[in-house]
């Protein structure tokens, strides 16, 4: 994407901050790339167990570009769940992107409709966290910064998945315990999104609902029941009191969760 259009001013534009902020963005982006690659390896392994072809793995990484939902889909495909259930889980898992997009929107308001439409496809947890922090530092939109934040997850995630798929084909995955990687990754990802006691209650509630419902009505129904009812249990939890007005400004919960999440 070109930088030819005028940048959108949000807050105080400070051009001299741009090089320093881009350097910091680059450092943060490299750290994200360093973990996206190995997590991609785990995803590649799971897709192998779910009988994806290599083409399907690569296409899912590029087209869906949403790690949590992709992990979930691989498990559901393996269990021969109906596609409607996979679509429902994808909607739920990725609904948080509404909040990311809303937070980025003021910075992109002056960009062309087409550019915003393309940018939206790449709005992963990491791209959001990297680019929003960058925009806040410089006080405006920076196309180069956004695309760096997007590519730094797309490339290692896709590459890692393909390598994981090919490498796992050469080993006995059950004997090596690799079949536990999927539920472990799901549990770890869930914890990575937790940023308060409401999140804990939602996750714990989802577990407490999904297991007994799964035992009586089948695993897919248990999963959907847990995913739908868990957040209601979280909502029933009283919110933590707001910090005092003179407390130091802290990061928004959405941004914090995004920094700790996956593509």
Partner 1 sequence: MIAADPSLNLGLSLGLIPLAFLMWLCTYPSRALPMLAPGIERLPQWAVAYLRLAGPASLAALAAVNCLLTSDSTPRLLIGIEPVAVGLCVLVVARTRLLFPAVLAAVVLVAVARAFGAG
Q: Cβ 36 to partner 1, closest distance in Å?
A: 10
Q: Cβ 94 to partner 1, closest distance in Å?
A: 4
Q: Residues near 246 by Cβ (< 8 Å), separated by ≥ 6?
A: none
Residue placing its CB nearer to partner 1 in the complex, 17 or 101:
101
Q: Cβ 87 to partner 1, closest distance in Å?
A: 5
Distance, CA of 175 to chain centre: 30
DSSP string, 184-220: HHHHHHHHHH--SHHHHHHHHHHHHHHHHHHHHH-HH
Q: Residues near 219 by Cβ (< 8 Å), separated by ≥ 6?
A: 79, 81
Residue placing its CB nearer to partner 1 in the complex, 20 or 79:
79
C-alpha to C-alpha distances, 31 to 14, 37, 70, nearest whole angstrom: 26, 11, 22
Dihedral sign for Cα 170, 40, 154, 26, please. negative
Task: Specify the 3-state DSSP secondary structure of 48.
Answer: helix
Q: Cβ 170 to partner 1, closest distance in Å?
A: 6
Dihedral sign for Cα 68, 74, 80, 86, please. positive
Residue placing its CB nearer to partner 1 in the complex, 142 or 199:
199
Q: Cβ 47 to partner 1, closest distance in Å?
A: 9
Residue placing its CB nearer to partner 1 in the complex, 16 or 216:
216
Residue placing its CB nearer to partner 1 in the complex, 14 or 211:
211
C-alpha to C-alpha distances, 208 to 33, 81, 106, 182, 230, nearest whole angstrom: 35, 21, 39, 19, 8
Residue placing its CB nearer to partner 1 in the complex, 15 or 83:
83
Q: Cβ 20 to partner 1, closest distance in Å?
A: 26
């Amino acid at each position: 994407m070109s930088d030819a259009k005028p940048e959108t001013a949000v807050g105080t534009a400070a051009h001299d901050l741009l090089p320093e902020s881009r350097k910091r963005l680059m450092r943060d982006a490299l750290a994200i790339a360093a973990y996206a690659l190995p997590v991609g390896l785990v995803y590649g392994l799971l897709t192998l167990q779910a009988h994806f072809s290599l083409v399907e793995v690569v296409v899912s990484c590029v087209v869906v570009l949403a790690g949590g939902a992709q992990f979930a889909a691989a498990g559901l495909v393996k269990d021969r769940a109906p596609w409607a259930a996979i679509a429902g889980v994808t909607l739920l898992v990725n609904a948080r992107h509404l909040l990311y997009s809303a937070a980025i929107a003021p910075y992109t308001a002056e960009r062309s409709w087409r550019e915003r439409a393309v940018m939206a496809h790449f709005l992963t947890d990491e791209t959001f966290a990297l680019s929003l922090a960058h925009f806040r530092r410089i006080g405006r939109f920076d196309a180069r910064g956004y695309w760096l934040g997007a590519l730094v997850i797309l490339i290692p995630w896709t590459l890692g998945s393909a390598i994981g798929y090919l490498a796992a084909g050469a080993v006995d995955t059950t004997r090596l315990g690799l079949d536990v990687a999927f539920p472990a990754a799901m549990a770890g990802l869930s914890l990575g999104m937790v940023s308060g006691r409401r999140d804990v209650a939602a996750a714990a509630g989802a577990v407490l609902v999904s297991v007994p419902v799964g035992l009586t009505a089948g695993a897919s129904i248990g999963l959907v029941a847990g995913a739908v009812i868990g957040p209601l249990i979280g909502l029933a939890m009283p919110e933590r009191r707001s910090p005092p007005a003179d407390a130091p400004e802290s990061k928004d919960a959405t941004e914090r969760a995004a920094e700790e999440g996956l593509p």
